[in-house]
């Protein structure tokens, strides 16, 4: 009878453990896929003995080594969720086996599931570190090893060495750097870091797919605007998404910003061809990241220096990346002596003219930097669109008219802005409109806008009118 009960309880335990594993995997693979990718971007593990010896020394070396080794695999689609699922399930099993040595099997099962659930929720935290999950598991393994001593004297004698070994190899079991004691998943934040990840991959269709539901967040609109600009649709689709003046067009880079915002801010400047600000973004992000390193920042710094012809600096970053598992092939192929061509299709490298002025400027001087880009390369349509949209989002129609010419870019929001300007200067006639390539149909649309503005929410008229209404006392 007891044997049957034990068999049933073991079967139940295996089923519950398997379900916990599968639930964790499904969650991180399908509902939270970008959460772990971001950790890999801020991680660096080199297959180099000198690097390993210098980096993984001192207290907590083993936990840091195991964590960094595992996190590099988060680069792969299935590996991240699979790794986290294994770690959390192992914590559950170890907790159960430890509990079974101290209390009843039923109570140990309850405690094991509670610890698993707590570990799972912590794992969903925005700033949570995999190192703590690894540390918890290693400490549990040490406790489980000690409890296997049948002799009480051996058990007590092993406590102090085990504690010292744990502190030396694993580090403190409690540390604020690991993250909050309790977290809840944030699907909105997951979408934001998803947008960031797809922008870094230059997967513009996926960025627009993730932007389909407006989050009304500056970073989300920024990613949407960049994707539309890269697809050549910014002038027609700008107001299909929420905008917050020029803050949603180009993010500012500053030491006081979060690592996430500073890193994301550099993406638009990189695509615009402004390598100075793109490099500034990567350097600040690298210095401020939790581990003061990260493959994403190193890849960006390598690309920027290759584009600007700073091959010695580029080789420095490429040599580092050549020691990684997943960036090695790319890094070696990009070394100047190994490159077949200097220009890669679809990247800023295909723009022969970059800003040559040798002075330091920053992302707060948006208009100045955009004008500098266009001075160096007047054919840069992405920069031209950004300049025009920058004027419009700041409600600066006079400056917009100085920058605009109808033979540059044909887009409906630019036509709408011109019609407002013509109306303000009492020049709204069919003849004057035709000079800017605006048809009578556009004038009719404007006339229909005022009695029924709700139908025209994706127009510059609506954006401009709302600003005027906010200014009224």
Counting other chains too, the contacts that 211-219 makes at CB distance below 8 Å and 24 or more residues apart are 211/241, 214/241, 214/242, 215/188, 215/191, 216/242, 217/188, 217/192, 218/244, 218/247, 218/248, 218/251, 219/192, 219/195, 219/251, 219/260, 219/261, 219/264
Q: 130-142 as b/e, with b when 16 or more CB fall inside 10 Å?
A: bbbbbbbbbbbbb
- Are the C-beta atoms of residues 42 and 138 closer than 8 Å to each other? no
Distance CA 221, CA 241 (A): 7
Side-chain-facing half-sphere of 154: CA atoms under 13 Å: 7
Provide the whole-model pTM: 0.91
Q: Minimal CA–CA distance to 265: which of 257, 44, 273?
A: 257
252: CB partners within 8 A, 6+ apart = 265, 363, 364
Distance CA 102, CA 112 (A): 13
Distance CA 334, CA 12 (A): 54
Distance CA 135, CA 258 (A): 26
168: CB partners within 8 A, 6+ apart = 59, 61
Burial class, 277, CB count within 10 angstroms (exposed 0-12 / middle 13-18 / buried 19+): buried
Q: In a structure prediction context, what are the per-residue pLDDT tens digits for the chain, which is 473 residues long?
A: 455 555 656 777 788 899 999 999 999 999 999 999 999 999 999 999 999 999 999 999 999 999 999 999 999 989 999 999 999 999 999 999 999 888 888 899 999 999 999 999 999 998 888 999 999 999 999 999 998 887 778 888 888 899 899 999 999 877 777 778 889 999 999 999 999 999 999 999 999 999 988 888 999 999 999 999 999 999 999 999 999 888 899 999 888 889 999 999 999 999 999 999 999 999 999 999 988 999 999 999 999 999 999 999 999 999 999 999 999 999 999 998 887 655 444 455 555 466 655 445 566 789 999 999 999 999 999 999 999 999 999 999 999 999 998 777 889 999 999 999 999 999 999 999 999 989 899 999 999 998 888 889 999 999 999 887 765 54
450: CB partners within 8 A, 6+ apart = none
Quick one: tokens of 206? Answer: 């996926």
- Are the C-beta atoms of residues 122 and 169 closer than 8 Å to each other? no
């Amino acid at each position: 009878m007891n044997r049957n009960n034990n068999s049933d309880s073991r079967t139940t335990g295996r089923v519950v453990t398997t379900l916990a594993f599968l639930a964790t995997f499904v969650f991180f693979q399908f509902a939270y896929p970008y959460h772990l990718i971001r950790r890999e971007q801020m991680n660096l593990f080199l297959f180099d003995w000198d690097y390993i010896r210098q980096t993984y020394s001192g207290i907590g070396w083993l936990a840091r080594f195991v964590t960094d080794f595992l996190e590099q695999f988060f680069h792969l689609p299935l590996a991240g969720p699979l790794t986290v699922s294994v770690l959390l399930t192992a914590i559950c099993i170890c907790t159960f086996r430890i509990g079974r040595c101290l209390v009843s099997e039923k109570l140990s099962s309850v405690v094991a599931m509670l610890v698993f659930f707590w570990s799972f929720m912590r794992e969903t935290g925005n700033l949570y570190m995999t190192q703590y999950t690894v540390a918890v598991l290693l400490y549990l393994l040490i406790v489980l090893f000690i409890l296997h001593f049948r002799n009480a004297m051996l058990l007590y004698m092993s406590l102090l060495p085990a504690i010292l070994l744990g502190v030396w190899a694993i580090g403190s079991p409690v540390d604020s750097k690991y993250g909050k004691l309790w977290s809840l998943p944030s699907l909105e934040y997951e979408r934001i870091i998803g947008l960031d990840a797809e922008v870094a991959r230059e997967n513009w269709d996926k960025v627009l797919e993730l932007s389909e539901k407006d989050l009304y967040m500056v970073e989300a609109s920024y990613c949407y605007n960049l994707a539309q600009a890269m697809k050549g649709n910014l002038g027609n689709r700008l107001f299909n998404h929420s905008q917050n003046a020029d803050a949603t067009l180009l993010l500012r880079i500053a030491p006081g910003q979060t690592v996430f915002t500073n890193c994301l801010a550099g993406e638009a400047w990189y695509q615009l061809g402004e390598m100075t600000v793109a490099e500034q973004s990567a350097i600040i992000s690298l210095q401020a990241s939790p581990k003061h390193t990260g493959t994403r920042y190193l890849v960006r710094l390598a690309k920027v220096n290759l584009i600007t012809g700073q091959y010695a600096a580029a080789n420095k970053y490429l040599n580092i990346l050549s020691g990684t598992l997943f960036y090695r092939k790319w890094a070696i192929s990009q070394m100047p002596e190994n490159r077949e061509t200097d220009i890669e299709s679809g990247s800023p490298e295909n723009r022969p003219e970059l800003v040559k002025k040798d002075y330091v400027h920053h992302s707060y001087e948006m208009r100045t930097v955009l004008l500098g880009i266009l001075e160096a390369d007047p054919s840069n349509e992405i920069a031209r669109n950004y300049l025009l949209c920058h004027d419009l989002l700041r409600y600066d129609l006079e400056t917009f008219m100085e920058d605009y010419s109808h033979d540059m870019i044909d887009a409906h929001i630019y036509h709408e802005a011109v019609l407002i300007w013509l109306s303000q200067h009492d020049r709204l006639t069919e003849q004057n409109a035709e000079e800017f390539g605006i048809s009578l149909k556009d004038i009719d649309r404007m006339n229909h806008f005022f009695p029924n503005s709700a139908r025209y929410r994706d127009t510059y008229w609506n954006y401009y009118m709302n600003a005027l209404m906010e200014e009224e006392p």
